[in-house]
């Protein structure tokens, strides 16, 4: 594993930007900024006519590092240690679970907790606990 | 106009993920690694990401939801369900295992595509497959008989 530095100030600032984005999306479209909900609805069946807006939001997410590289000339560290088979299993579980539980870190963790939703609180506690347990097994049970 | 604004909103979200450090799976895994506390390798940064995001959203939502309607939509689509069904526990449990395996959740994984990494591409492809599969299973008649169908407007 790679030790990462504790970055309270930039993490707080970045978190505030995520919050700002969630508030702006509610102001503009009246919808929750849940990335899993937005991403899952890029695929059929289509329940409404918001596909173009969702594509634009996801395009913005993907464009963010391009903008950072354009402005600063470099990108911050990104270490993806998981080998391909683990990435595939992890991706399947993450995508399946996020849809099955009606949301992920953004929809439940940020927007749901901000709305004081009990469902989102249950979801957030559950995925945090599952994430902690998984990392514990992977790193300390060998 | 609305499309451009949604692009800008996604861009701000992505910048937030990058600035906060959440776009780095190593940082996410080190946060989830409470077993690393004795060794001093636990990275508490993500608690600050959540705190910053929830603080701004909590205040912002209260103001925005007082408006008559959103700027580019007929009405607000705020989830209304309050019941605790098995799916709200089973889903996040499965999600959490995937999150703990790779350190990616959907937002950072999509933003990672812009970093140009092959690993992110593989993860996102599998994630999309998982999403499509979950929506397909949730729509099966046998499935909707035993569990409540997902609220299409939630998150």
Contacts of B73 in chain A (CB under 8 A): 28-31
Determine contact, residues B122/A89, Cβ cutoff 8 Å: no
Contacts of A111 in chain B (CB under 8 A): 57, 61, 155
Give A47-93 pLDDT, tens digit per residue: 888 999 999 999 999 999 999 999 999 999 999 999 999 999 999 99
Label residue B150 by pLDDT band (50, 70, 90): low
Inform me whether the pLDDT recorded for B129 exceeds 70: yes
A85 interfaces chain B, CB cutoff of 8 Å: no
- Report the greatest alpha carbon distance in chain B: 53
Query: What pLDDT shows up at residue B124?
Result: 98
Identify the burial level of B63 via C-beta atoms within 10 angstroms of its C-beta, where 0-12 means exposed, 13-18 middle and 19 or more buried: exposed
Contacts of A133 in chain B (CB under 8 A): 96-97, 100
Q: Looking at per-residue confidence, does A15 or A141 come out higher?
A: A15
Query: What pLDDT shows up at residue B143?
Result: 59
- Identify the DSSP state of B36: G
Identify the burial level of B71 via C-beta atoms within 10 angstroms of its C-beta, where 0-12 means exposed, 13-18 middle and 19 or more buried: middle
Whether residue B9 and residue A58 make contact (CB cut-off 8 A), yes or no, is no
- Please list, residue by residue across A119-128, b when 16 or more beta carbons sit within 10 angstroms of its beta carbon and e when fewer do: bbbbbbebbb
Q: Kindly state the percentage of chain A with pLDDT values over 70.
A: 99
Residue whose pair of structure tokens reads 């937005």 in the numeric block? A38
Inform me whether the pLDDT recorded for B145 exceeds 80: no
* Average pLDDT score over chain A: 96
Q: Average pLDDT in the B20-29 region?
A: 97
Q: How far is B19 from chain A (nearest CA, A)?
A: 5
Query: What pLDDT shows up at residue B7?
Result: 98
Smallest CA-to-CA distance from A106 within B57, B141, B94 is with B57
Whole-number Å distance between alpha carbons of B18 and B107: 11
pTM of this structure: 0.94
Inform me whether the pLDDT recorded for B1 exceeds 90: no
Contacts of A132 in chain B (CB under 8 A): 32-34, 100
Give B30-83 pLDDT, tens digit per residue: 999 999 999 999 999 999 999 999 999 999 999 999 999 999 999 999 999 999
Interface test with A, best of B5, B6, B39, B139 (most A CBs within 10 A): B6
Whether residue B4 and residue A108 make contact (CB cut-off 8 A), yes or no, is no
Query: What pLDDT shows up at residue B140?
Result: 87
B2 interfaces chain A, CB cutoff of 8 Å: yes
B-facing residues of A in 52-71 (CB < 8 A) are 52-54, 56-68
Label residue A119 by pLDDT band (50, 70, 90): very high
């Amino acid at each position: 594993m790679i030790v990462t530095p504790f970055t309270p100030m930039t993490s707080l600032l970045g978190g505030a930007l995520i919050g700002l984005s969630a508030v702006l999306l509610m102001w503009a479209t009246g919808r929750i900024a849940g990335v899993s909900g937005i991403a899952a609805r890029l695929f059929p069946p289509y329940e409404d006519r918001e596909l173009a807006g969702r594509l634009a939001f996801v395009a913005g997410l993907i464009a963010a590092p391009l903008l950072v590289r354009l402005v600063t000339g470099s990108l911050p560290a990104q270490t993806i240690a998981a080998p391909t088979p683990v990435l595939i299993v992890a991706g399947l579980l993450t995508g399946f679970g996020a849809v099955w539980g009606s949301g992920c870190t953004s929809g439940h963790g940020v927007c749901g907790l901000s709305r004081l939703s009990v469902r989102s609180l249950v979801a957030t506690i559950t995925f945090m606990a599952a994430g902690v347990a998984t990392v514990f097994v992977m790193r300390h049970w060998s | 106009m609305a499309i451009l604004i949604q692009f800008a909103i996604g861009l701000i979200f992505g910048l937030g993920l990058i600035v906060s450090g959440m776009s780095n799976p190593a940082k996410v895994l080190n946060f989830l690694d409470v077993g690393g506390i004795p060794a001093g390798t636990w990275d508490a940064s993500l608690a600050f990401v959540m705190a910053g995001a929830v603080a701004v959203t909590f205040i912002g939502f209260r103001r925005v939801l007082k408006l008559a309607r959103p700027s580019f939509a007929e009405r607000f689509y705020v989830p209304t369900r309050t019941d605790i069904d098995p799916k709200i526990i089973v889903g996040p449990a499965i999600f959490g295992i995937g999150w703990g395996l790779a350190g990616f959740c959907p937002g950072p994984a999509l933003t990672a595509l812009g970093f140009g990494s092959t690993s992110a591409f593989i993860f996102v492809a599998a994630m999309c497959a998982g999403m499509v599969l979950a929506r397909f299973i949730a729509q099966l008649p046998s499935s909707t008989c035993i569990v409540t169908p997902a609220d299409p407007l939630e998150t």
